[in-house]
Structure 1
Amino acid sequence: MDRQAKAVVCREWGKPVQVEQITVDGPKRGEITIKVAACGVCHSDLSATTGKIQYPPPLVLGHEAAGVVVEVGEGVEGFSEGDHVVSSFISMCGKCRQCVRGHPVLCENARKAMFTLPDGTVRTRDSQGEPLNVFGACGVMAEYATLHVDNCVKVAEDVPLQNAALVGCAVMTGVGAVFNTAGLEPGSRAAVFGIGGVGLNAVQGCATAGAEMIVAVDNNPKKLAMAREFGATHTIDLNEVDDAAKAIRKLTGGVDYAFECVGAGAVVEQAYKSLGRGGTAVVVGVADPKDKTSITTLTLPADERTLKGSWLGSARPQHDFPRLLGLYRAGKLKLDELITQTYSIDEAVQAFDDMISGKNARGVIVFD
């Protein structure tokens, strides 16, 4: 059945988001409709409004959400009405070379569902009946959303949905970069550049994995204070140093792992330069397509350094989302503390403004 819903929409790059009344069509074969309970406000959503992530408007935003299944399409197995689910903005066909090699986050067919569902169509229409694209095959910054089952992960019902939502992006991206991409060993020394929602989770990922030293780097003292709460042993305020990499090497002797969570070529260079011999720099942030990074090539073989990327924390969502929520339930992962403020959907513009100003660890839109 079709449902009326409020949704946060990007109508034009470079303009503020707006809240609109839309129609969400019921599920087709292999799809489910969820009543969204909560959706995180992520910098990637902001990047879609600026054109840094070039999803064509008009676009229903939102990719980090949790909700309850209210309708199941034909042929769907493993999901029933009433199930709690977390959205995943990566489609995983399960059949391509990357999926069968155990790298579903690199699914060769995922690009078919960047701003539509996998079949190339959408289930969202505006008040004039015109189709609306959806962020990352999700478009979950709305009261209802219809998604393909490949973009949904069923989770335990005893986890608050506003907490579970964060696993869909910020937590998976940050913690996953540590656990999956880097494989950080206990006793390692690490640095995290950029303490936003993702960087904060990289910090707590390092702490959970047993890092000996964790250096948080940012230009916002409030964010650095948050980093200490999440496990940072040292902080570097960029307002107080000329060369962060040099300061990190002086403090640690060179880190084993550096995580770039900003999305800027110059910061990637700093992360790489902060490494000790045998160190690995992991690029987590999403940079502008024209941005470039320069490194001294000789250091790759001579110091056996590694520079690698991490997309959604090298996730296997069906495995990793429940695993992360299990760590939360065991008291080993902070989710409650990540949510600095909640908003109604009518306060979406304020939620984006607060994110831009650096006010929140994570702002979350909570639906009735």
Structure 2
Amino acid sequence: MTITTRAAITRYAHSPWEVTELQLDEPRAHEVRVKFYAAGLCHSDDHITRGDAPVRLPVVGGHEGAGIVESVGPHVTRVKPGDRIVCSYIPACGKCRPCSTGHQNMCDEGKNASTGMFSDGTFRFHDGDTDLGGFCTLGTFSQYAVVSEWACVALADDIPFDIAALVGCGVPTGWGSAVHAAEVRAGDTVVIYGAGGVGSNAVQGARYAGARFVVVVDPVDFKRDMAKVFGATHTFADATSAHDYVVEATWGQLADHAICTPGVLTEDIVNAAVQVTGKAGKVTVTAVGKLEERAVNIPAGMLIGYQRQVRGALFGDSNPLYDIPRLFDLYRAGDLKLDELVTRRYSLDEINQGYQDMLDGKNIRGVIIHEH
């Protein structure tokens, strides 16, 4: 049976989020209908409204979410009605080539993330005669959504929904960028550019992996202060000051790793990251930039002379089915800070204020609490 749901959508690039009522279909084969209780306000969704993401519009926003399975379609085996879940913004079917070789972050079922289209070429959200997809085929800015069962990860009763939602994207993306993609090791020097919802977790990952120096670059005072809470050893407002410190602290050897997690990636940030890394250093690029700009533009000699590496990281090289539960275990043990990530909670009607607060540097992460 089709139901009505309240959702935040954007109809055109350079337009704000609009809260409206949509019709939502029943789940089909290998799909489930989720009643979301919380959704994270990730910067990636803001890229949609600014025209910086190649996303089919109109679209239901949101790709961080946690809630309860309301109903299931045919052949669903991973979850059942009543189960508490967190959604991974990249599904993990467990059977495709990437999944079977330990790269669930590149699961083939994620191929329609930018359109919200399901594998059969159809959509589940409808606004009159207009079909809408959910961002990353989720749409967590809706009270209810139909998602793939492969995007569902079991959530234990002791983890609150508002905390769990962030572990569907921002936490493993940041943490994994340091631990998995960069492969930070004990004694390393790490420089992290951007200390928002993803960068804060890169800080946590680098520190937990045993980095000696975790240096954060962010122009916002509040984010630099919070970076110290998450484990940063030193913070700077600009890249030049950070570079000068790293030169001094490492006796000129420079950093082992630079991780790029700003809200908007720029060529200047990537160049600073390359220059701050020493011999055999690695630059890990996690953030995205503006669609029409090239952020990676490096003379070959900058890489060859010091044998530096520049690589991208999707979902922090994390495997959702394994890493999401493991991160919750670290949270329970006191080794991962999640409560501190949530700066403010908003109603769905306050979504545009939430994103303005993010842009103003007031939040590490804002969270939408859905009303039911």
TM-score, structure 2 normalization: 0.93
Counterpart residue number, 1:52:
52
Code of the residue aligned with 1:337 in structure 2: it is: E
User: Displacement of 1:5 after TM fit?
Assistant: 1.4
**Paired residue for 2:337, among 334, 337, 342?**
334
Counterpart residue number, 2:232:
232
Code of the residue aligned with 1:279 in structure 2: it is: G
Counterpart residue number, 2:19:
19
Code of the residue aligned with 1:213 in structure 2: it is: F
Where does 1:308-323 land on structure 2 (aligned, <5 Å)? 308-323=311-326
Code of the residue aligned with 2:54 in structure 1: it is: Q
What SS does the corresponding residue of 2:198 show, helix, strand or coil?
helix
**Paired residue for 2:301, among 298, 303, 310?**
298
What SS does the corresponding residue of 1:333 show, helix, strand or coil?
coil
Counterpart residue number, 2:368:
365
Counterpart residue number, 1:250:
248
Aligned residues: 365
Code of the residue aligned with 1:284 in structure 2: it is: T
Residue 41 of structure 2 corresponds to residue 38 of structure 1: no
Cα distance per residue 1:184-207 (max 9 Å; x no partner): 112211110011111111111111
**Structure 1: segments with no counterpart, 5+ residues:** none
Code of the residue aligned with 2:205 in structure 1: it is: G
TM-score, structure 1 normalization: 0.94
Where does 1:116-131 land on structure 2 (aligned, <5 Å)? 116-126=117-127, 128-131=128-131
User: Displacement of 1:117 after TM fit?
Assistant: 2.3
User: Displacement of 1:280 after TM fit?
Assistant: 1.1
State the distance in 2 between where 1:55 and 1:183 align: 31
Counterpart residue number, 2:106:
106
Q: Mean alpha-carbon deviation: is it higher for 32-41 or for 175-184?
A: 175-184
RMSD after superposition: 1.7
User: Displacement of 1:104 after TM fit?
Assistant: 2.2
State the distance in 1 between where 2:204 and 2:96 align: 33
What SS does the corresponding residue of 2:363 show, helix, strand or coil?
coil
Q: 1:69 to 1:108 in 2, by over 3 A?
A: closer
Where does 1:163-202 land on structure 2 (aligned, <5 Å)? 163-202=163-202
What SS does the corresponding residue of 1:196 show, helix, strand or coil?
coil
Q: Mean alpha-carbon deviation: is it higher for 215-224 or for 246-255?
A: 246-255
Counterpart residue number, 2:283:
281
Percent of pairs with identical residues: 39
Counterpart residue number, 1:266:
268
State the distance in 2 between where 1:294 and 1:244 align: 21
User: Displacement of 1:76 after TM fit?
Assistant: 0.4
User: Displacement of 1:34 after TM fit?
Assistant: 0.9
Residue 344 of structure 2 corresponds to residue 347 of structure 1: no
Q: Residue 244 of structure 1 contacts residue 270 of structure 1 at CA under 8 Å; is this kept in 2?
A: no
Cα distance per residue 1:125-148 (max 9 Å; x no partner): 12x242112101111111111101
User: Displacement of 1:234 after TM fit?
Assistant: 0.4
Q: Residue 87 of structure 1 contacts residue 153 of structure 1 at CA under 8 Å; is this kept in 2?
A: yes
Q: Mean alpha-carbon deviation: is it higher for 247-256 or for 345-354?
A: 247-256
